[in-house]
Amino acid sequence: MTMRISGIASGLDTDSMVQELVKASSSKKESLEKAQTKLEWKQEAWKTFNTKVYSFFNNQLNNLKYESAFNKKKTTIADSSIASIVTGDNAVNGTQTLSVKRLAKSGYLTGGKLSSDKSVTGKTTLAELAKKSGTELAEGEEISLRVKNGSEESTISLSANSTVSDVVSQLKEAGLTANFDETNQRIFISASGSGAENDFAINASSMNGLVALSSLGLLAKEDIANSDSAAYQEYQYWNEAYTADGALDEAVFQQKVKETAANTAADLLEQLSDLEKTVEDLRNERATLTSDEDKEKNYAASEEAQKKLADAANVLSDYYKSIVDSDTATAEEKAAAQDGLDRAFDAYDVAKNAAAAMGAEAPSTVASYNLASKVESDSRAYAETAHNVLNSTINGVSAGAVRILGQDALISLNGAEFTSDTNNFTINGLTITANSVSAITGQDAEGNDIYAETSINTAEDVDAIYDMIKGFLKEYNDLIKEMDTLYNADSSKGYEPLTDDEKDAMSDTEIEKWEQKIKDSLLRRDSDLGTLINTFKETMLGSYTVNGKKYSLSSFGISTLGYFKSADNERGVYHIDGDADDSSTSGNTDKLKAMIASDPDAVKGFFTQLVGDLQSKVNDIMTHTDYRSVYHVYDDKRLQTEYDDYTKKIKEQETKLQDLEDRYYKQFSSMETALSKLNSQQSYISSLFGS
């Protein structure tokens, strides 16, 4: 910053004089600044309005140009207590009959009461529970339970020292919802989903396991006597290996072992792809990691995944190799086993290569694990238990649990039956939610229950289509009214943006009114806005042919109020005859609703053409040019260029004013120097005369 000391010789306030002289020459800069401010306001006004136009273009116009937008249907049901219905766009119009024969249920088990004195806690052991129930667990013998949760099967291994909490935790790990309610002294278990396929079963693999189940209150009569129970079905499967006199038929048993091993291998084979993907994903992730902590976590997860993959591959390779080398296997069985063997080798290679990529040793093989032998060993004790359960030769074991079996919902639609593991059905465009079972009106000749039928009717959703068109017109009306208001705004001639000095002389309210007057008129008679207005209005006046007949908006009772009846800037606004929300036309006959109900194709055909045409024309306006960015309805690039030009001209004026200021200071400085010399001379002369 330049420091100046002036006015010492003359006694004049040269700073003030220079500023006033410069100010007199700064009017051009001030005019440029006002023009730039005005242009900035115009840019802001256009940006705000452009957002509204683009929203209308991208939402209303983009949606309504497709016929699918008009495929709105509604289904009514005579008895809504039976079911509720959601109608899809592809639902077929017409009347159908419906009855609900069964609702879906989730499998649920309410355990028997473990004690009457609330002495059982989560820390109570199975041995202690067995004594309370008057039975006893064999010491040193493992307690093994089979858990089936939907399609997933797992084994729970316990001991006499396992606690109630241990059992609940392992049931949760098996995918069930389990809880021990200490207050009520019961264990509650539920399936993870509804329907028969998602039901669960908990079976004992030995007599010791059966005693444990009974002691825990988890043995239910339904699971050992109901053929619909998954637990019963598994017991029955292995009981089939026993003859009528109670002896184990070794041939039948071995065949079941073979089937079970094959199924287990098939399930394991299916898991290989998921395990391989996990290994590869972790390997790819490793390349993106930078922190040591993340790398360590990745290595640990990779090692675990590689081990699981290698274990599965090794179990399968041993199993399939035993079949390939077998003397009794058929050629087809050996060929299938060879395919499985090759797949197992490939999976082991994935685990080995992934380990090598991270500088680790290849995962070791599973130590002496023979799948078929393991299945045989596990199943032999289980088969005996299953036989004892189903033949009621169990001593000291009580079935105290209450069981609700999972079941599928069953409905009849037009006489055809459909099942679902939930109470929801999606059939031919209808989503039906069953709420209650239909009344039974009698029985047929075969003794089957006959259920009452209720009617459901699907038709065009007149109100939904009407509201959609009304919504489109409302947004259009809001836009066209705003456009006309901006275009026909009063002139603000004589009003210019205020300088700081001018603002200082006015109140805040006066400033606000002054600037608003200017802002309201910024798009007055704007050529870009005029083009947009004409495009909107001309398109809405068009007519379109549907099935050989011409239609316009007036064909559907939609029109403007006319020049003399319309308020200012509302001459382009459309009204719907019979619209209850429009006082101007609510008393007229509602032609639009009538047309939607009687000729939905005409409505659909006309409005998709109208909206498509309007969108196409607006899209043409929003096309990229040298002066306009894409999706803009005004020349935003041109306005920005003009704004930048003002910035350049203002800087040029500032430079000129600075030069002028420097020149004035230089002139005053010369004057001060001359006066100083003159004063010095006068002092010298005065001193001569004085002496």
pLDDT recorded at residue 1: 43
For 32, 496, 547, the CA distances from 35, given in Å and listed in that order, are 5, 8, 56
Q: Which residue has the higher pLDDT, 688 or 587?
A: 587
Contacts of 108 (CB under 8 A, 6+ apart): 188, 189, 190, 191, 403, 404
- Minimum mean pLDDT range among 171-175, 293-297, 507-511, 579-583: 293-297
Using the structure block, give the residue that is written with the tokens 């030009």: 645
Compute how many other C-beta atoms are within 10 angstroms of the C-beta atom of residue 523. Answer: 21
pLDDT recorded at residue 5: 47
User: Residue 155 phi/psi, 5° resolution?
Assistant: -120, 135
- Minimum mean pLDDT range among 218-222, 241-245, 307-311: 218-222
pLDDT recorded at residue 365: 66
pLDDT at 664 over 80: no
- Minimum mean pLDDT range among 203-212, 308-317, 551-560, 682-691: 682-691
Taking the C-alpha atoms of residue 406 and residue 423, their distance in angstroms, rounded to an integer, is 12
pLDDT recorded at residue 3: 46
8 A C-beta contact, residue 314 and residue 366: yes
pLDDT at 646 over 50: yes
Strand partners, 86: 431
Compute how many other C-beta atoms are within 10 angstroms of the C-beta atom of residue 207. Answer: 19
SS3 449: strand
What are the pLDDT digits (tens) for 400-425?
Answer: 899 999 999 999 999 999 999 999 99
What are the pLDDT digits (tens) for 174-199?
Answer: 999 999 999 999 999 999 999 999 99
pLDDT at 631 over 50: yes
Q: Which residue has the higher pLDDT, 40 or 385?
A: 40
Identity at 222, one-letter amino acid code:
E
pTM of this structure? 0.61
10 Å CB burial of residue 136 (0-12, 13-18, 19+) is middle
SS3 101: strand
Task: Determine the average pLDDT of the residues in 198-215.
Answer: 88
Q: Smallest Cα–Cα separation from 320: which of 332, 296, 304, 336? A: 336
Q: Smallest Cα–Cα separation from 54: which of 679, 577, 532, 572? A: 532
pLDDT recorded at residue 428: 94
Domain ranges of the chain: 36-68+463-636, 76-103+413-457, 105-246+391-407, 249-386
End-to-end C-alpha distance for the chain, whole angstroms: 47
What are the pLDDT digits (tens) for 112-138?
Answer: 999 988 999 999 999 999 888 787 887
